[in-house]
Chain A
Amino acid sequence: GAVVSQHPSRVICKSGTSVKIECRSLDFQATTMFWYRQFPKQSLMLMATSNEGSKATYEQGVEKDKFLINHASLTLSTLTVTSAHPEDSSFYICSARVLAGSTGELFFGEGSRLTVL
């Protein structure tokens, strides 16, 4: 299957700092990537859709000024958690599909575990 890679896999930061997470499609180009968040013992919740060359679209209840998304190339999307607080501690996972459009299999990165102290 297609490979999606995230970095870093784990990050610990102090409250009030910003953290950037990268999501790369390694063997294909992705015009659209998706960012999810997963709290312990819960399911994955879609946060936003990252669109190459345009603004991200956010799901209801997700603060766009807090979770900055940039999709500057066809293989890279970044999620920046600004002014992180302990309640932002979570597992963040990105995904992408090989085929353009709204159908087709989605592949997921390894996830990035954020701990805010």
Chain B
Amino acid sequence: GIQVEQSPPDLILQEGANSTLRCNFSDSVNNLQWFHQNPWGQLINLFYIPSGTKQNGRLSATTVATERYSLLYISSSQTTDSGVYFCAVSNTGKLIFGQGTTLQVKP
């Protein structure tokens, strides 16, 4: 099955800093989503981005499908951005998750 690798596994930032999270996948996909899991476990949909670039406020994402990777950019990070960020992909209808990046933003 398809493999999903996220990097870095852990990231500590000072408030106001920018960061880039990466997601590599092993096969072509027709679905790629980025999520933020809050402390209560809820998965918040950030982007549905099987290809191209999207922006939503301080967050943006780019997927280069031909090279099998996606990037999530967080600018001017805030303490509320802390949590786990997951990339998940699919080419069968079933979404497969990476191991996540745990982000801690310090005030």
Interface residues of A (CB under 8 A from B): 1, 32, 34, 36, 38, 42-46, 49, 91, 93, 95, 101-108, 110-111, 113
Residues from chain B with a CB closer than 8 A to the CB of A38 are 41
A105 and B43 contacting across the interface, CB-CB below 8 Å: no
CB-CB under 8 A for A110 and B41, given A43-B86, A46-B95, A102-B92: yes
What is the bound-complex CA distance between A93 and B88, given in angstroms? 15
CB-CB under 8 A for A43 and B31, given A93-B41, A101-B93: no
Interface residues of B (CB under 8 A from A): 30-31, 33, 35, 40-43, 45, 48, 50, 86, 88, 90, 92-100
Q: Which of A46, A93, A103, A104 contacts B96 (CB 8 A)?
A: A46
Separation in Å of the B9 CB from the closest CB of chain A? 11
A103 and B30 contacting across the interface, CB-CB below 8 Å: yes
Residues from chain A with a CB closer than 8 A to the CB of B50 are 103
CB-CB under 8 A for A110 and B42, given A43-B86, A102-B30, A103-B30: yes
- With CB as the reference atom, state the residue of chain B lying closest to A38: B41
Residues from chain A with a CB closer than 8 A to the CB of B45 are 1, 105, 107-108
B100 and A43 contacting across the interface, CB-CB below 8 Å: yes
Q: Which of A1, A42, A103 contacts B31 (CB 8 A)?
A: A103
Residues from chain B with a CB closer than 8 A to the CB of A105 are 31, 33, 45, 48
Q: Which of B42, B86, B98 contacts A111 (CB 8 A)?
A: B42
